[in-house]
Amino acid sequence: MIKRYVSWILAFVIIVVALGSVAWYCWARFLPFGGSADIVATSKPLTLSEARQQRCPIELPEGARNISFAAYAEWVAYEVYVRFEAPLSICKAHAIHLLKKHNKEFPQSAVPVDLRVLTGPVRAVEPGPPLNVNWFDVDAIKNGFIGGERGSHRPFIWIDSDRNVLYYVYTD
């Protein structure tokens, strides 16, 4: 009788280990942030149609130009940086659109939707390797607006009102 229980327990353990291995493989291989690192980056500023074709990580508005982006994802780690030029009214409207979209999709990490006047200097953003975002020059902003919230799983947006540039960052 004890041999039968040992056999059942051994069979149960083997099945659990096998199913766990298959589940882990599927998680690591097929989920968007699973498997090997996924890096998407521009080598030069793009047009709107080029940026859309090359998998820009955010929705872009009509009127966006000189678009640069870089995104890195590996398992649960990720960083997204986007910069584009557009008329100030488009930058402001699109910033609010992106923040509202984030709040709808991720209510557990909702951010303020209003744009606030930028006060004080902006410090440079330093992404982790392997991204090179020397074009993400937020430290050059003198006048502008900010939106969103700095922090994990929250978008943050700067708008340079002198140069009509929108900067977007989203990290884990």
Counting the structural domains of the chain, the total is: 2
pTM value?
A: 0.78
* 32-86: pLDDT as tens digits: 444 567 889 999 999 999 999 998 999 999 999 999 999 998 888 889 999 999 9
- Strands (E) located in 48-154: 65-74, 77-85, 116-117, 144-148
* 81-112: pLDDT as tens digits: 999 999 999 999 999 999 999 999 999 999 99
Same domain? For 123 and 52 the reply is yes
Same domain? For 7 and 24 the reply is yes
pLDDT at 6: 64
Peptide bond into 130 cis (omega under 30): yes
CA 69 vs. chain centroid, Å, equals 10
Same domain? For 23 and 74 the reply is no
Same domain? For 4 and 79 the reply is no
* 126-151: pLDDT as tens digits: 887 788 899 999 999 999 999 999 98
Same domain? For 73 and 102 the reply is yes
Structural domain harbouring 22: 1-30
